[in-house]
Amino acid sequence: MKPFIHPLADVEEGAEVGEDSVIWRWTHVMSKAKIGKNCTIGQGCFFQDDTEVGDDCKIQNNVSVYTGVTLEDNVFIGPSVVFTNVRKPKAGVIIATSAYNRTIVRQGATIGANATIVCGVEIGENALVGAGAVITKSVPPGICVVGNPAGVLVRDVRGVSFVISFEDYYIKRLHHN
């Protein structure tokens, strides 16, 4: 079935929008962006050129997806999530798009409301990024991360949750394997 694009959305000529996808008002999809099948895109979102959204994704209101970001299939992006594509931006300095850092969100990942994803990272398959987290490092598959900067949410032997750094998480995994 043909995608539904709200009359107040701006989907530029050349943009690819898959069948059964829905794009709500005040969303801007640039001409070289790709959105897969059966996606729901909330209001006020922005998709810059050279962004890709897989099939069956749900992207809530006010999400900004900039050049170099790829979302695989079945990804959930909460409201007001922001992706970046330049590590050290400067006003008045033109940075070639070839120098942008790539970011990929793997299949089945969930990113909570108001999270910031600093460019050049990978969010692993079925990973969970908590609301408001600031992601500065790649997140392994199936892991839950929270905080600023984000750390790995784990449980102690009594089942009490706490957060450890990525470094501590990897060191503990090395000693237990």
pLDDT > 60? residue 177: no
3-state secondary structure the chain: CCCEECCCCEECCCCEECCCCEECCCCEECCCCEECCCCEECCCCEECCCCEECCCCEECCCCEECCCEEECCCCEECCCCEECCCCCCCCCCCCCHHHCCCEEECCCCEECCCCEECCCCEECCCCEECCCCEECCCECCCCEEECCCCEEEEECCCCCEEEECHHHHHHHHHHHC
Q: What is the mean pLDDT of residues 36-56?
A: 98
pLDDT > 90? residue 95: no
The pLDDT tens digits for 118-169 are 999 999 999 999 999 999 999 999 999 999 988 887 766 777 777 777 777 7
Q: What is the mean pLDDT of residues 44-70?
A: 97
Average pLDDT, the chain: 92
Residue-level pLDDT at 174: 57
Task: Give me the CATH code for the 4-152 domain, please.
Answer: 2.160.10.10
pLDDT > 90? residue 88: no
